[in-house]
Amino acid sequence: MMHHTLPPLPEDSLGNALKISAELIAQVVEGSTLTDALAALGASQPQLSPGTRGAVLDLTYSTLRDCGRQDFILSKLLHKPLPEPIQSLLRVALHRLEVRPEQAHTVVDQAVNAAAHLLKGNFKGVVNGVLRNALRQTDSLRAAANQDMMAEHRHPAWWIRRLRQQYPDDWRDILRAGNSHPPMALRVNALRSDIDEVQEMLAAASHPTRELANGALVLERPVPVQRLPGFSEGCYSVQDAGAQAAARYLDVHDGQRVLDACAAPGGKTCHILEQADVQLTALDTDPARARRIRENLDRLGLDAQVKAVDCRHVEQWWDGQAFDRILADLPCSASGVVRRNPDIKWLRRSEDISRFAALQAEILDQLWQVLAPGGKMLYVTCSVFAEENHAQIAAFADRHPDCRRLPIDGQTDCQYLPCADHDGFFYALVEKQA
């Protein structure tokens, strides 16, 4: 019996995008982060055109944002899950059928082509049958999905329950925001430009923006930053509008010693240096991420001492001189930025929240040692869960009698919930009493 080698899928075909997207999502399902999966894709297929890469990213991110919905529908169409990456191919194809119903024939045809190139092509018939079945039962499947908590809200059940308990009035809006496309916001570098100049320059290049109350500019349509005039010249940076509050809340002044304890990729580090002439130390545990801090500093014409080190090991990096300001933007569940990192919904477990809270408490206690009397520390997470936020900083203040909590915008602390303008962030400011 002769075996014919299949010709490769045309690079710019929907089938190829479906195949690559399925392989990426399969890696996430098996425990990899999407960041790592994309890095591996870039290394293994550097020849991918920008168009193909864009199509793959769009399919992958959109399918992961929809997580819960396709799995519910597949549970109605299959007796048991199929092996990866076939199961994920069906996830991507079902998502595509839902958002582009007019392409139904093409989507099924291209998904079958993709299946021919996965797992020795043994699942072509199954993929064809499942998708045709899904199309025949579209109305009843959609109605059933809308009655199921995970399928309707596209988040894990434990996540939904936690939000319902902590935000009885806002939980639906938080989940809806988590499933949306994130805004693309810019932070103008006041040392090189101003808001009016940047808005005019971008508008002239057909990239209109709107200005928010805090001076952030939100692009009407997100685009690859390399296409924007003035970026490589350091006139502005890409930074979520919610994240742009950090440098303002930290209250920095010329001549101060400032520590950014978990700094990569350096957005907040650079913003602090754009606001005041300070002596800044930026730390991050990951050498590759620490290099990104340096790259961002160089593009903006700024300087800081960057060290690839774990901030908890004070003896390894501290010179004994106390800091006037500390930015503690700590590792967290990232539940406030899940629309930017939709793999998080798949990868997080309920018990991870207490693990992050324990790590945050350990870091805060270590950093407190290096803050000068009279100095201020700003605690930041990109989480919406109380254990990492209000409860964390309240427990910290209880442990440290020399800690005084300072108000932010007239409140004890500040919880930004994700919305159309910004992601979810938490801020709390404390002062070390002399």
pLDDT digits (tens, 9 = 90+) for 401-412: 999 999 999 999
The model's pLDDT over 95-151, given as tens digits with 9 standing for 90+, comes to 999 999 999 999 999 999 999 999 988 999 999 999 999 999 999 999 999 999 999
Domains 184-239 and 242-432 share a fold: no
> Which pLDDT score, from 0 to 100, does residue 4 have?
60
Q: How confident is the model at residue 6 (pLDDT cuts 50, 70, 90)?
A: confident
CA 372, CA 375: separation in Å to the nearest integer? Answer: 5
pLDDT at position 426: 98
Count of CA atoms in the C-beta half-sphere (13 A) of 114: 30
Residue spans of the domains in the chain: they are 14-152, 184-239, 242-432
Q: Is the pLDDT of residue 378 over 50?
A: yes
pLDDT class of 67 with cuts at 50, 70, 90: confident
pLDDT score of 167 = 98
**Residues taking part in catalysis:** 382
The residue-averaged pLDDT of 280-288 equals: 96
| pLDDT at residue number 118 | 95
What span, in angstroms and rounded, lies between the C-alpha atoms of 306 and 371? 18
Q: Which fold has domain 14-152?
A: N-utilizing Substance Protein B Homolog; Chain A (1.10.940)
DSSP state of 402: T
Looking at residue 5, its pLDDT comes to: 76
- Whether residue 118 contacts residue 42, with contact meaning beta carbons closer than 8 Å, is answered with no
Percent of the chain at pLDDT > 70 equals: 99
Dihedral (C-alpha) 220, 223, 227, 232: value to the nearest 10 degrees? 90
Strand partners, 140: none
Neighbours of 49 (CB within 10 A): 10
Residue 3 has pLDDT above 80, yes or no: no
Confidence of residue 370 (pLDDT cuts 50, 70, 90): very high
Q: Could you report the per-residue pLDDT of 37-63, keeping only the tens digit for each?
A: 999 999 999 999 999 999 999 999 999
Residue 2: is its pLDDT beyond 50?
no
Each residue's pLDDT tens digit, 190-203: 999 999 999 999 99
- Give the tens place of pLDDT for each residue, 248-283: 999 999 999 999 999 999 999 999 999 999 999 999
Ramachandran quadrant class, 278 (left: phi over 0; alpha: psi -120 to 50; beta: rest): beta
User: What string of DSSP letters covers 109-160?
Assistant: HHHHHHHHTSGGGTTHHHHHHHHHHHHHTHHHHHHHHHTSHHHHH-S-HHHH
Residue 236 predicted with pLDDT over 70:
yes
pLDDT at 1 over 80: no
Topology of domain 184-239 in CATH is: Alpha-Beta Plaits (3.30.70)
Domain 242-432 matching CATH 3.40.50.1100: the answer reads no
Give, as one character, the DSSP assignment of residue 411: B
Report the b/e string of 280-289 with b at 16+ CB within 10 A. bbbbbeeeee
Is residue 21 scored above 50 in pLDDT?
yes
Taking the model in full, what pTM does it have?
A: 0.94
Quick check: bond before 182 cis, omega within 30? no
How large a percentage of the chain has pLDDT more than 90?
Answer: 96
Q: How confident is the prediction for the chain on average, in pLDDT?
A: 96
Q: What is the pLDDT of residues 289-318, one digit of tens each?
A: 999 999 999 999 999 999 999 999 999 999
